[in-house]
C-alpha cells in the first residue's frame, strides 16, 4: 500500500489499466513562453469553460490570477530586477530608478490575502510615495537588471494525485494515459479534492445553477482526454505558437527537458531548472512538469510538494490509536467506580 502513496511508478498500470499506452503529459518550457495566453483561450474554447470574471488585477499582465474551476491554464507574469542570462534589458544608462516590483507585489499581497473569492476584484490602489526631488537613478540605484518571466501553469497530473486519492465518489479517476480526470456526472461537489491538491489546481465551480455549466462540482484540466484519445494534441499545446507547451510521452518529454535545461545552462541562463520531472520527488514526478527560470514559489508553485497521502497510513494509525484511547477511556469512566 505504501508504494501506491509514494515513490516512482507508472500510474496507469498501477491503477489497473492493462496494456496502457505510454503515459502522456506536458513539458512547459517557460524560457520560450511569450505570454500570449493562447493556451488559456484555446483551453476555454475547447472545453467550453465559462469566463472567470472581468477582474483587472494589475499583476503585470496577469488578470487571470490563478488556476481554478474555470481556469485550467493560467499564464503567470513576473517582473523582476534580475538579469536573464546574457539578456540586455536596456535599462542601464537610462534615468530609471530603483525597481518598484517589490512594492507592487506587496500591494497585490495585501489586496488578495484572506479573500476566499480567489481574486480580489476590489484591489487597492498603491501609492509609491512622495515625488523624488533628485533625478531618478541619479544615485546609481537604477534598475539596470530586469527580466519578465512568463509561465503557463496547468494541472500537474501527478503520479500520486491527492485529489484522486481523496475523492469519495470515484468521480476523479486515472485514465489509461496516466492522467487524472473528473467525471462531471459523478462528482457531487464534496470539495475534498480542493484542499487536497498540493498545487491549488482543482476547485469547485461557483456560478448560477442552470446558467453556468457544472456549477458546484470540481473542475480542472483533463489534458484534453477527449482529444488525445483521438490522436490530437491538447488544445493548449496545439495553440501554443512557440512550443512552450509541449505534449507527448512523459518519458520522452523528460529527456527533451533535460537537454533543454543543459542548452540553456550552456548559454548562460544559469537559473534554468526543471520542476516536477523527478520521479523521486514528493509526488512521484509530475505528468505536467516545467522548466523554470526562478524558484518555484516565484511562479506560485510549491517549492517542495509532497502528496498528502504519503502520510495517510500514519494518520490512520494515529486515528486508530485515538479511537482506541477513546474507547478505553469510556470503558474506564464506567468501570472506575463511583455513581
Partner 1 sequence: MVPDATFTSYYGRPVVKAAPWEKDIPAYLFLGGLAGGSSLMSAGADLSGRPGLRRVGRLGALVGISASMFALVHDLGRPDRFHHMLRVAKPTSPMSVGTWILTAYGPAAGLAGAAELRPLLPARLRDGLAGKLLGLAARPAGLGAALLAPAVASYTAVLLSDTATPTWHEAHNELPFVFVGSASAAAGGLGMALAPLSESGPAQRLAVGGALLELAAEHKMERSMGLTAEPLHQGRAGQLMQLSKTLTAFGALTAALLGRRSRAAAVVAGTALVTGSACTRFGIFEAGQDSARDPKYTVVPQRERLNARASAGGT
Partner 2 sequence: MAECHPVGFQWVMEAKARGAKVIHIDPRFTRTSAVADTHVPLRAGSDIAFLGGIVKYILDNEKYFREYVVAYTNAATLVGEDFVDSEDLGGLFSGYDEEKASYDQSSWAYERADEAAAAGDREGSGKGNGAQDGGHAEGHAFGSGGPGLDSHEVQRDETLQHPRTVFQVLKRHYARYTPEMVEEVCGVSRAQFLEVCEAVTANSGRERTTCWVYSVGWTHHSVGVQYIRGSAIIQLLLGNMGRPGGGILALRGHASIQGSTDIPTLFNLLPGYLPMPKAGEDESFGAYLDTIRSTEQKGFWTNADAYTVSLLKAWWGEHATAENGYAFDYLPRISGDHSTYQTVLDMNDGKIEGYFLLGQNPAVGSAHGRLQRLGMAQLKWLVVRDLNMIESATFWKDGPEIATGEMKTEEIGTEVFFFPAAAHTEKSGTFTQTQRMLQWHHKAVEPEGDRRSELEFFHLVGQKIRAKLADSTLERDRPIQHLTWDYPVDEHGEPSAEAVLQEVNGRYVSGEKAGRPLSGFAELKADGSTACGCWIYSGVYADGVNQSARRKPGREQSWVAPDWGWAWPMNRRQLYNRASADPDGKPWSERKAYVWWDEDQAKWVGHDVPDFQVGKAPSYRPEPGATGPDALAGDDPFIMQADGKGWLYAPSGLLDGPMPVHYEPAESPVRNPMYEQQGNPTREVFKRKDNLQNPSAGEAGSEVFPYVFTTYRLTEHHTAGGMSRWLPYLSELQPEFFCEVSPEHARERGLEHLGWATIVTARTAIEARVLVTDRVVPLTVGGKVIHQVGLPYHWGVGGGGAIVSGDSANDLFGLSLDANVHIQESKVASCDIVPGRRPTGPELLQFVEAYRSRAGITVETGNTRHTAQEGSP
CA 180 to chain centre: 14
> Considering only residues 137, 178, 276, 296, which one is a binding residue for partner 2 as defined by CB under 8 A?
137
Q: Residue 111 gets which letter from DSSP?
A: H
Intra-chain end-to-end CA distance of the chain, in Å = 47
218 binds, among partner 2, partner 1, none (CB under 5 to 8 A by kind): partner 1
Q: Which of 40, 52, 176, 203 binds partner 1 (CB under 8 A)?
A: 203
Identified binder of partner 1 from the candidate list 28, 71, 171, 222, rule CB under 8 A: 171
Q: Is 298 in the site for partner 1 (CB under 8 A)?
A: yes
Based on the shown chain and the rule CB under 8 A, indicate whether residue 206 belongs to the binding site for partner 2.
Answer: no
Binds partner 2 by CB under 8 A, chosen from 9, 21, 83, 126: 126
DSSP state string for 12-42: HHHTT-SSPPPPEEEEEEGGG-----HHHHH
Please identify which residue in 200, 232, 238, 265 interacts with partner 1, judged by CB under 8 A.
200
Q: CA 112, 187, 191: angle at the middle one, nearest 5?
A: 30
Centroid of chain to Cα 170: 23
User: Using CA atoms, how far apart are residues 218 and 222, in angstroms rounded to an integer?
Assistant: 12
* The 3-state secondary structure of 306-336, one letter per residue: CCHHHHHHHHHHHHHHHHHHHHHHHHHHHHC
Residue 305 found at the interface with partner 2 (CB under 8 A): no
Q: Is 38 in the site for partner 2 (CB under 8 A)?
A: yes
C-beta of residue 276 within 8 angstroms of C-beta of residue 156? yes
Nearer to partner 1, 235 or 293 (CB): 293
Taking CB under 8 A as the criterion, which residues in 43-82 touch partner 2?
Answer: 44-45, 50-56, 58, 60-61, 63-64, 79, 81
Look at residue 305 and give the partner it binds from partner 1, partner 2, none, a contact being a CB closer than 5 to 8 Å depending on partner kind.
partner 1
Residue carrying the nine cell digits 469547485: 204
State the Cα–Cα distance between residues 71 and 119, nearest whole angstrom. Answer: 12
Which positions from 75 through 94 interact with partner 1, judged by CB under 8 A?
Answer: 76, 78
Q: Which residues bind partner 2 (CB under 8 A)?
A: 32, 34-38, 40-41, 44-45, 50-56, 58, 60-61, 63-64, 79, 81, 86-101, 103-104, 107, 111, 123-132, 135-137, 143, 146-150, 241-243
Amino acid at each position: 500500500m505504501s508504494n501506491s502513496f509514494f515513490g516512482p511508478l507508472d500510474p496507469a498500470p498501477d491503477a489497473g489499466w492493462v496494456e496502457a499506452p505510454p503515459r502522456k503529459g506536458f513539458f512547459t518550457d517557460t524560457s520560450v513562453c511569450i505570454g500570449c495566453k493562447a493556451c488559456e483561450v484555446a483551453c476555454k474554447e475547447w472545453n467550453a469553460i465559462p469566463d472567470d470574471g472581468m477582474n483587472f488585477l494589475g499583476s503585470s499582465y496577469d488578470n487571470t490570477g490563478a488556476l481554478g474551476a474555470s481556469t485550467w491554464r493560467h499564464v503567470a507574469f513576473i517582473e523582476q530586477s534580475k538579469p536573464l542570462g546574457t539578456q540586455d534589458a536596456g535599462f542601464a544608462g537610462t534615468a530609471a530608478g530603483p525597481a518598484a516590483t517589490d512594492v507592487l507585489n506587496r500591494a497585490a499581497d495585501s489586496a488578495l490575502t484572506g479573500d476566499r473569492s480567489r481574486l480580489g476584484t476590489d484591489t487597492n490602489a498603491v501609492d509609491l510615495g512622495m515625488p523624488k526631488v533628485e533625478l531618478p537613478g541619479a544615485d546609481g540605484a537604477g534598475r539596470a537588471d530586469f527580466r519578465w518571466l512568463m509561465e503557463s501553469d496547468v494541472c500537474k497530473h501527478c503520479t500520486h494525485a491527492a485529489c484522486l486519492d481523496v475523492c469519495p465518489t470515484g468521480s476523479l479517476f486515472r485514465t489509461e494515459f496516466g492522467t487524472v480526470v473528473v467525471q462531471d456526472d459523478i462528482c457531487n461537489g464534496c470539495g475534498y479534492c480542493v484542499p487536497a491538491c498540493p498545487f491549488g489546481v482543482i476547485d469547485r465551480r461557483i456560478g448560477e445553477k442552470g446558467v453556468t455549466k457544472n456549477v458546484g462540482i470540481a473542475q480542472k484540466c483533463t489534458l484534453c482526454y477527449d482529444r488525445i484519445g483521438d490522436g490530437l494534441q491538447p488544445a493548449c499545446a496545439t495553440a501554443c505558437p512557440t512550443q512552450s507547451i509541449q505534449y507527448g510521452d512523459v518519458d520522452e518529454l523528460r529527456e527533451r527537458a533535460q537537454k533543454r535545461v543543459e542548452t540553456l545552462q550552456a548559454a548562460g541562463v544559469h537559473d534554468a531548472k526543471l520542476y516536477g520531472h523527478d520521479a523521486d520527488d514528493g509526488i512521484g514526478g509530475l505528468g505536467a512538469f516545467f522548466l523554470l527560470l526562478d524558484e518555484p514559489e516565484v511562479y506560485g508553485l510549491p517549492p517542495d510538494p509532497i502528496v498528502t497521502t504519503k502520510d495517510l497510513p500514519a494518520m490512520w494509525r494515529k486515528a486508530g490509536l485515538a479511537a482506541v484511547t477513546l474507547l478505553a477511556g469510556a470503558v474506564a469512566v464506567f468501570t472506575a467506580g463511583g455513581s
